[in-house]
Structure 1
């Protein structure tokens, strides 16, 4: 559902990372980009609304007001929505991916 929502909102370079065995904070991490701060904020807002309405999930959200990097914590999945420049700077995918394993592009 998360990947569908992001795809519907034209998220770019969507990557899903399996966190099983790497951390207990979540099962998966999804990282994607929006073209502007406005798009990043809108994608985050729509995703949070869909999760609440369709699944009754109340998510923790950080960074929505700035729109450079929004973190959405659903409990078992963590979603990061970045502006491309900010995503390149932090390179979260490299930190969490298993060395030698390809990214799971959605």
Structure 2
């Protein structure tokens, strides 16, 4: 695999993780999806505690990627704020409220692991039936 391409992906991931951490995103998970699909190479999943925070997290990711010179293909879900997506081509960022994240469990769909919680602590959310 091309080392320049991998360095570009790593740079995009670093920008996104920093943007998520700036707005206090939680349970940030980075998945390498290059072996599963040719549509994108990396996926980032993060949680926000409220609709306002989910919107702010996704917006901050898009702004920071644009400022770094990356193209944003689309953003989705900013109206509802329960699940927002930023599509930057080789990188897709999902920002969800915890109950939505738990319900859809996209980490498991893409072969990743759920975020780990403090040992002995109960899971901080549960999907609605």
TM-score calculated relative to the size of structure 2: 0.73
1:48–1:59 contact (8 Å) kept in structure 2? no
2:108–2:114 contact (8 Å) kept in structure 1? no
Unaligned runs of 5+ in 2: 1-14, 117-129
Report the count of equivalent residues.
102
2:52–2:81 contact (8 Å) kept in structure 1? yes
Q: Report 1 or 2 for greater relative contact order, CA contacts < 8 Å, sequence distance ≥ 6.
A: 1
Q: 1:90 to 1:9 in 2, by over 3 A?
A: same
**Which residue does the alignment assign to 1:18?**
32
The structure in which a higher percent of residues are strand is 1
Q: Which moved more, 1:30-39 or 1:89-98?
A: 89-98
Alignment partner of 1:95 is 2:109: yes
Distance 1:56 1:29 in 2: 16
Alignment partner of 1:79 is 2:79: no
**Which residue does the alignment assign to 1:58?**
72
Unaligned runs of 5+ in 1: none
Q: 1:96 to 1:85 in 2, by over 3 A?
A: same
Distance 1:7 1:103 in 2: 18
Distance 1:72 1:18 in 2: 16
**Which residue does the alignment assign to 1:39?**
53
RMSD: 1.7
Distance 1:91 1:103 in 2: 8
TM-score calculated relative to the size of structure 1: 0.88
Distance 2:91 2:115 in 1: 15
